A and B are shown apart, each in its own frame.
Chain A
């Protein structure tokens, strides 16, 4: 039973004060200032007057910025969908593996996750760039194919043109899937591992195929886990800065890139503040939707 705080005031103060102090001083107050700035305007070069204006939020709705928001949502959605598609079979395989294999497979998924995000993104740059390994392999195959065709008396292939894999939208989504995949696999695995296997066996015994069992039994039962996997992948993907910045091209900017620009180069903090709070509201909306769905899920069954 939890203790009422008045019954041990000394101990309560000892654990309450540091936590609450730190949370307020170094997290809530900084966020609060940014929130206040989002209703302000630049006053001279360094000062910001908080005037209660909604002008900054109105600017967010301008087509230029709205388009970036839509694009970010689309990238995040695409990333989440791809992670789900790639991750679900992996989670399924881990769930039904033997104990020993299971821990090795989990380690296999987790190890890249423990590796520095910047290093992982950088490794992708080396793979995807014009003179990267993918293009190198492609060039090699191209030359061999060309040689073979010549030997067979046909026209050789034309001049090799490398694939443009880096600095475009493809690279951004590829990178986002690459860095976020573990986020998806782990909650999926946690959900699938809790399933009562007798339902699956019953379904298979009663003549349903594997695919049908999967769609009609496994997926509905694991739905809360799938939802949390989606949320856990979607949120970081939506707010990601490094991946679009390093792998993207001029037209693949996401919300975080324009926020960064307002604070560092454009020096328009009030507008940057409004942008970052729009991103926060989107994040909270995603969490709220999931909470509502979760609450409704048990009733509907």
Chain B
């Protein structure tokens, strides 16, 4: 019967102007993406008018050697950068949470710099660094040739992990750690058996964040990538710079579907974890 009752004073969502607004914003956010996905199946080069269903652009995208290499590079970079960011992020979160030391405020501020510094500034800093200080040797075997991009990605991903893990550590009961030590556990044992299990949900969340950030990044990669180390966004950029091509629609659709799946898996993963913690 509740459904028939007039909306309560604060049930804004049940008033039609706000409902219309939400529908409008949804259309604004989703129409471009959905039309991109729908028209990836369109059998027309110019790709405006619906000419019929086809999978041929998927075939083209999936046999495009350079596109696949770029996607492989992107996934490899994201994978390695995520693992390193997790380690660094967790360590720095523990550092800031557990210890008092001179220069802590400064370090805290410096750690949030990569989050706020504009991407373009970080991109040029990495360009200069790898040109002048640490010239990355060219012609290394895969995946070592991706090293400079991976280093740059770790630098901007791990502070995000730090933020997430640190928020989680705030709810940790320090007495647990003391109890473990009283019972004879060493530093490493306490870290491994007490602290890490407590951090686990934030490590999952941080990993997903780092992975997405790395996969998503264009600007910083654009400045660190060489001709033989092209990532997916950089490749797509060079393909669509001046026109809209159906193969890119197909490749983008694959990536969107992948992202959506990952997001749903992550949400499934996080909800039970939240209840446990």
Residues of A within 8 A of B (CB): 1-5, 8, 10-12, 14-16, 18-20, 22-23, 26-31, 33-34, 37, 86, 89-90, 92-93, 95-97, 101, 105, 107-112, 114-120, 122-127, 129, 131-133, 136, 178, 181, 197, 200-201, 204, 235-236, 238-239, 241-242, 246, 255-256, 259-260, 263, 269, 272-273, 276-277, 279-280, 283, 287
For residue B216, which residues in chain A have a CB less than 8 angstroms away from its CB? 116-117
Min Cβ gap B96→A in Å is: 9
Are B9 and A114 closer than 8 Å at their CB atoms? no
A201 to B9, CA, bound (A): 8
For residue B248, which residues in chain A have a CB less than 8 angstroms away from its CB? 122
Are B88 and A33 closer than 8 Å at their CB atoms? no
* B22 in complex: contacting residue of A90, A125, A178, CB < 8 Å: A90
A46 to B223, CA, bound (A): 17
For residue A96, which residues in chain B have a CB less than 8 angstroms away from its CB? 10-13
* B259 in complex: contacting residue of A19, A37, A116, A255, CB < 8 Å: A116
Interface residues of B in 214-229 (CB under 8 A from A): 215-216, 218-219, 223
Nearest first, the 8 closest Cβ-Cβ pairs linking A and B are: A239-B118, A30-B129, A30-B125, A123-B32, A19-B92, A5-B101, A256-B120, A15-B95
For residue B98, which residues in chain A have a CB less than 8 angstroms away from its CB? 2-3, 11, 15
Interface residues of B in 64-113 (CB under 8 A from A): 87-88, 91-92, 94-95, 97-101, 107, 110-111, 113
Nearest B residue (CB) for A200: B10
Sorting the interface of chain B by its residue count into under 10, 10 to 19, 20 to 34 or 35 or more gives: 35 or more
Are A34 and B118 closer than 8 Å at their CB atoms? no
Are A122 and B240 closer than 8 Å at their CB atoms? yes
Nearest B residue (CB) for A182: B29
Q: Which of B51-59, B136-144, B147-155, B197-205 contacts A (4 or more CB under 8 A)?
A: B147-155
* B48 in complex: contacting residue of A124, A131, A181, CB < 8 Å: A131
Are B13 and A101 closer than 8 Å at their CB atoms? yes
Q: Does B1 contact A (CB under 8 A)?
A: no
For residue B87, which residues in chain A have a CB less than 8 angstroms away from its CB? 18
Min Cβ gap A284→B in Å is: 8
Min Cβ gap B127→A in Å is: 6
Are A116 and B9 closer than 8 Å at their CB atoms? no
A86 to B49, CA, bound (A): 31
A280 to B174, CA, bound (A): 39
Q: Does B192 contact A (CB under 8 A)?
A: no
Nearest A residue (CB) for B241: A246
**Mind listing 15 A-B residue pairs with CB under 8 Å?**
A18-B87, A27-B155, A34-B125, A93-B13, A108-B26, A115-B260, A120-B32, A123-B36, A126-B35, A127-B31, A238-B118, A246-B240, A269-B128, A276-B120, A276-B121
For residue B94, which residues in chain A have a CB less than 8 angstroms away from its CB? 15
Among A22, A28, A260, max chain B CB count under 10 A is at A22
Are B22 and A12 closer than 8 Å at their CB atoms? no
Known: A111-B260, A116-B255. A105 touches B22 (CB 8 A): yes
Q: Does B269 contact A (CB under 8 A)?
A: no
Interface residues of B in 1-52 (CB under 8 A from A): 9-13, 18-19, 21-22, 25-26, 28-33, 35-36, 39, 46-49
A122 to B213, CA, bound (A): 18
* B256 in complex: contacting residue of A16, A86, A119, CB < 8 Å: A119
A87 to B11, CA, bound (A): 18
**How does the 8 Å CB contact mask read for B231-265 relative to A, with 1 for contact and 0 for none?**
01100110011001000110010011001101100
- Known: A26-B129, A112-B30; 16 extra A-B contacts, CB below 8 A, are A15-B92, A18-B88, A26-B155, A27-B155, A30-B128, A30-B133, A86-B25, A95-B12, A96-B12, A105-B22, A115-B256, A178-B28, A242-B218, A256-B120, A279-B118, A283-B116
Nearest A residue (CB) for B191: A11
Nearest A residue (CB) for B110: A23
For residue A283, which residues in chain B have a CB less than 8 angstroms away from its CB? 116-118
